[in-house]
Amino acid sequence: MAAGLVGVLGFFFLALRTDIGTGGLDLTYRWGLWFISIAIAFGGRLLLNLFVFNRAKPIASGIKISLPAGAISAGSRVLGPFLLLVALTLPFIVMAVYPDRDRQFIDLAILIMTYVMLGWGLNIVVGLAGLLDLGYVAFYAVGAYSFALLAQYFDIGFWMALPLAGLLAATWGIILGFPVLRLRGDYLAIVTLAFGEIIRVVLLNWYDFTGGPDGISGIPKPSFFGLDFTRTGGFAEFFGIDYDSIHRFIYLYYIILLLALITNFVTLRLRKLPIGRAWEALREDEIACRSLGINTTNTKLTAFSIGAMFGGFAGSFFATRQGFISPESFTFLESAIILAIVVLGGLGSQIGVVIASVVMIGGIEILRNLGFLKEIFGPDFEPTQYRMLIFGLAMVLIMVWKPRGIISSRNPSAVYKERKKIGSDMVAQGEGH
Partner 1 sequence: MEYFLQQLINGLTLGSIYGLIAIGYTMVYGIIGMINFAHGDIFMVGSFIALATFLALVALGISALPLILFITLLVSMLFTSAWGWTVERLAYRPLRGSFRLAPLITAIGMSIVLQNFVQITQGARVKPLPPQIQGGVTLIEGVTENGTIAVQLSYMQMIIIATTLALMIGFSLLISKTSLGRSQRACEQDQKMAALLGVNVDRTISLTFVMGAALAAVAGFMFLLLYGVIDFYIGFLAGVKAFTAAVLGGIGSLPGAMLGGLLIGLIEVFWSGYFSVEYKDVAAFSILVIVLIFMPSGLLGKPEVEKV
- Tell whether residue 53 is a contact of partner 1 (CB under 8 A): no
**Candidate residues 167, 351, 394, 406; the one interacting with partner 1 per rule CB under 8 A:** 394
Cβ proximity to partner 1, 68 vs 379, nearer residue: 379
Neighbouring CB atoms inside 10 A of 92's CB total: 11
The residues in 252-291 that bind partner 1, with binding defined as CB under 8 A, are 287-288
Cα separation, 48 vs 372, whole angstroms: 28
- Residue spans of beta strands (DSSP E) within 144-286: 216-217
**Candidate residues 58, 62, 70, 179; the one interacting with partner 1 per rule CB under 8 A:** 179
CB of 134 to partner 1, least distance (A): 9
- Tell whether residue 201 is a contact of partner 1 (CB under 8 A): yes
Cα separation, 110 vs 252, whole angstroms: 7
Decide: 350 and 267 in contact? Cβ < 8 Å: yes
296-322 vs 102-122: helix crossing angle, rounded to 10 = 170
Alpha carbon 418 to its chain centroid, in Å, reads 34
Beta pairing partners, 21:
24
Cα angle 283, 68, 428 (rounded to 5 degrees) comes to 15
CB of 339 to partner 1, least distance (A): 7
Cα separation, 298 vs 305, whole angstroms: 10
CB of 28 to partner 1, least distance (A): 10
Report which secondary-structure segment, H or E, holds 21: strand 16-21
Span from 13-21, 214-222, 224-232, 309-317 in contact with partner 1 (CB under 8 A): 13-21
Full DSSP string of 75-106: HHHHHHHHHHHHHHHHHHHHHHH-TTSHHHHH
**Candidate residues 395, 406, 411, 413; the one interacting with partner 1 per rule CB under 8 A:** 395
**Candidate residues 45, 184, 221, 277; the one interacting with partner 1 per rule CB under 8 A:** 184
How far is the CA of 401 from the CAs of 49, 309, 357, 378, 389, in angstroms? Answer: 18, 33, 18, 34, 18
- Tell whether residue 190 is a contact of partner 1 (CB under 8 A): yes
67 three-class SS: coil
- Tell whether residue 197 is a contact of partner 1 (CB under 8 A): yes
Q: Map residues 348-387 to x or -, x wherever contact with partner 1 holds by CB under 8 A.
A: -------------------------------------xx-
Span from 2-10, 43-51, 99-107, 307-315 in contact with partner 1 (CB under 8 A): 2-10
State residue 222 phi and psi, 5-degree precision: -70, 150
189 contact partners, CB below 8 Å, separation of at least 6: 132, 133, 134, 432
Cβ proximity to partner 1, 205 vs 297, nearer residue: 205
Span from 24-32, 79-87, 215-223, 249-257 in contact with partner 1 (CB under 8 A): 24-32
Span from 98-106, 107-115, 320-328, 336-344 in contact with partner 1 (CB under 8 A): 336-344
**Candidate residues 137, 148, 344, 407; the one interacting with partner 1 per rule CB under 8 A:** 344
Report which secondary-structure segment, H or E, holds 28: strand 24-29
Cα separation, 410 vs 349, whole angstroms: 7
Report which secondary-structure segment, H or E, holds 17: strand 16-21
CB of 88 to partner 1, least distance (A): 31
- Tell whether residue 339 is a contact of partner 1 (CB under 8 A): yes
- Tell whether residue 336 is a contact of partner 1 (CB under 8 A): yes
Cα separation, 366 vs 386, whole angstroms: 12
Q: Map residues 103-142 to x or -, x wherever contact with partner 1 holds by CB under 8 A.
A: -----------------------x-----x----------
373 contact partners, CB below 8 Å, separation of at least 6: 381, 383
Cβ proximity to partner 1, 95 vs 204, nearer residue: 204
CB of 336 to partner 1, least distance (A): 5
Cα separation, 99 vs 156, whole angstroms: 35
Span from 116-124, 161-169, 190-198, 303-311 in contact with partner 1 (CB under 8 A): 190-198
Cβ proximity to partner 1, 300 vs 404, nearer residue: 404
Residues that bind partner 1 (CB under 8 A): 5, 8-9, 11-14, 16-20, 24-27, 126, 132, 179-180, 182-184, 186-187, 189-191, 193-195, 197-198, 201-202, 204-205, 287-288, 332-333, 336, 339-340, 343-344, 347, 385-386, 388-389, 391-396, 399-400, 403-404, 428-432
